[in-house]
Amino acid sequence: MEDDHGVRRSVEELRQTFKSGKTRGVDWRKSQLRAILRLIEENKDNFYKLLQSELGKHPVESYRDEIGIVKKSVDLALSCIDQWMSPKKGWLPLLFLPASRKLLSEPLGVVLIIGSWNFPISLILDPLIGAISAGNTVVLKPSELAPNCSSFLAKLLPVYLDSKAIKVIEGGREVSNQLLEYKWDKIFFTGSVKVGKVVMAAAAKHLTPVTLELGGKCPAIFDSLPNADIKVATKRVASGKWGACCGQACIGVDYMLVEQKIATTLIEELKKTIKTFYGDDVRNLKNMSKIINKFHFDRLRNLLEDPAVANCIVYGGSFDEKNLIIEPTILLDPPLNAEIMNEEIFGPLLPIITLDDIKESIEFINSKSKPLALYAFTKNENFKKQILTETSSGSVTFNDTMIQFACDDLPFGGVGQSGFGRYHGKYSFDAFSHEKAVLERSFYFELEPRHPPWNNFKLEFLRLAYNYDYVGLVLLLLGLKKPLSS
């Protein structure tokens, strides 16, 4: 943890590095990206151990959601960065010829990236890849709730990356507030809505652009399906709910909506899948992460200890306080005014809400804040269209969960309360770039009217140009067409 003087000195050094132009060259950008690859490859075993001790993540989960995500992002950036940096040329209206236009991507400057504890490696390094690709200097602020991962990154990154352009600053809320007092050229934040509001308020003082990757209550609509498809769908729901950091994921399934007539079938299939994937004893669960700390453990336990909610438990509900483990838990029709149905759960508790008609799910979803992700298991094409046109969410995934996060050709980001701004792949490069419009005209071909008055000629020329009347323009310039009177 640095004092205020140390933070100020670090930020000033980053500004001087950026002003020097060092980070603008493609060679510097590629060298830093290759260094991230080496960092991951040479330290992956250490990352596995850290993620296991801090969050209880199995190495398979750590590779899928952390190490593999970062490696994939670096590989894509290295293969595409020349293309991303190239000026984009385009068409110009006849009105401006002879001239040329292009869009030039330039780095924003000195950026601040604030990471989250649930994916303490990927949610720091993945945005960093975009910031480096775009040519910025960067301050990384890892989450203090995953202190071992934070400390490891703080020690490791200066060994591999340019320490005059990329710095890690550790600390808790006090350090975060201190950092937010500075003027940045971009702030990228991943975390809760509550803290996101603090970040945005601080950024507004300096008119700093922000990307907020927040969360919300992500629903899963479960339509009537053949038995074989129900089995596949429940496996994907179980993976998306409990397989990614024990439900502590912003795009994890928060609750499910299903017709009353198939609720029993769905619940029975989920029970079987849970036992197969994770086991049925809270003391011996396999392949599941733990709750990050005692505070969040107690928060989740309090959600379940509401008597009206406890009566709705149809599976699970056991706790291992010593090891911060909560068993996968299914609830059927908890009260809609209960806290569990009005706050993001961020844990292994899954409410299932029954409806008379599955199409009522659209009204139910629209009654709440816009989610970061919406999942729907259905074969009904008309229902799919209705979901797409009548709901709003950061993303929609049909017949699976969470896989959209790993697709670099799709932007990842929220809408409304679930955040704004987007990244992944080329979108990460764009998130940390300014696309500057450049238009260059020649000194040749200056218009001269053949028929006065001059203002009438200009007015007619503009009218014809804006209407793409090229024949009329030629006739006007040749003096064969008279301008309209003003």
pLDDT in tens, 147-181: 999 999 999 999 999 999 999 999 999 999 999 99
Indicate if 106 belongs to the active site: no
The pLDDT, as a whole number, for residue 391 is 97
By CB neighbour count within 10 A (0-12 exposed, 13-18 middle, 19+ buried), where does 98 fall? exposed
Strand 329-332 versus strand 210-213 pairing type: unpaired
pTM over 0.85: yes
Among 241-245, 396-400, 438-442, name the one with the lowest average pLDDT: 438-442
The pLDDT, as a whole number, for residue 107 is 98
The percent of residues in the chain predicted with pLDDT above 70, rounded, is 96
Listing DSSP states for 348-405 in one string gives: SEEEEEEESSTTHHHHHHHTSPPPS-EEEE---HHHHHHHHHH---S-EEESSSSGGG
**Contact indicator for 141, 111 with CB cutoff of 8 Å:** no
**Contact indicator for 441, 98 with CB cutoff of 8 Å:** yes
Residue type, 90: G
pLDDT in tens, 248-293: 999 999 999 999 999 999 999 999 999 999 998 888 888 899 999 9
Query: Which of 100, 95, 101 is CA-nearest to residue 477?
Result: 95
Average pLDDT of span 295-309: 95
Rounded-to-integer distance, Cα 239 and Cα 274, Å: 9
pLDDT in tens, 232-256: 999 999 999 999 999 999 999 999 9
Among 79-88, 215-224, 246-255, 436-445, name the one with the lowest average pLDDT: 436-445
Query: Taking 90 as the threshold, does the pLDDT of residue 3 lie above it?
Result: no
Query: Taking 70 as the threshold, does the pLDDT of residue 435 lie above it?
Result: yes
The pLDDT, as a whole number, for residue 91 is 76
Catalytic one of 149, 218, 245, 250 = 250
Give, in degrees to the nearest 5, the angle at Cα 403 between 365 and 432. Answer: 90
3-class SS shares of the chain: helix, strand, coil, % to 5: 50, 15, 35
Rounded-to-integer distance, Cα 427 and Cα 405, Å: 13
The pLDDT, as a whole number, for residue 451 is 53
Give, in degrees to the nearest 5, the angle at Cα 455 between 451 and 461. Answer: 75
Q: What are phi and psi of 265, to 5 degrees?
A: -60, -45
pLDDT in tens, 71-84: 999 999 999 999 99
Query: Taking 90 as the threshold, does the pLDDT of residue 122 lie above it?
Result: yes
**Contact indicator for 153, 168 with CB cutoff of 8 Å:** yes
The pLDDT, as a whole number, for residue 486 is 47
Neighbour-count burial for 274-298, b at 16+ CB within 10 Å, e otherwise: beebbbeebeebeebbbbbeeebbe
How many Å is the Cα radius of gyration of the chain? Answer: 27
Computed from CA positions of residues 322, 273, 401, 258, in that sequence, does the dihedral angle turn out positive or negative? negative
Q: What are phi and psi of 296, to 5 degrees?
A: -70, -30
Query: Taking 60 as the threshold, does the pLDDT of residue 452 lie above it?
Result: no
pLDDT in tens, 354-383: 999 999 999 999 999 999 999 999 999 999
Computed from CA positions of residues 174, 199, 423, 242, in that sequence, does the dihedral angle turn out positive or negative? positive
Query: Taking 70 as the threshold, does the pLDDT of residue 2 lie above it?
Result: no
Catalytic one of 54, 61, 66, 213 = 213
By CB neighbour count within 10 A (0-12 exposed, 13-18 middle, 19+ buried), where does 307 fall? exposed
Which residue would you say has higher pLDDT here, 12 or 483? 12
Query: Taking 50 as the threshold, does the pLDDT of residue 458 lie above it?
Result: yes
Indicate if 312 belongs to the active site: no
Rounded-to-integer distance, Cα 316 and Cα 326, Å: 9
Query: Between the ranges 100-104, 289-293, 452-456, where is the mean pLDDT highest?
Result: 289-293
Query: Taking 80 as the threshold, does the pLDDT of residue 449 lie above it?
Result: no
Average pLDDT of span 436-465: 73
Rounded-to-integer distance, Cα 391 and Cα 95, Å: 42
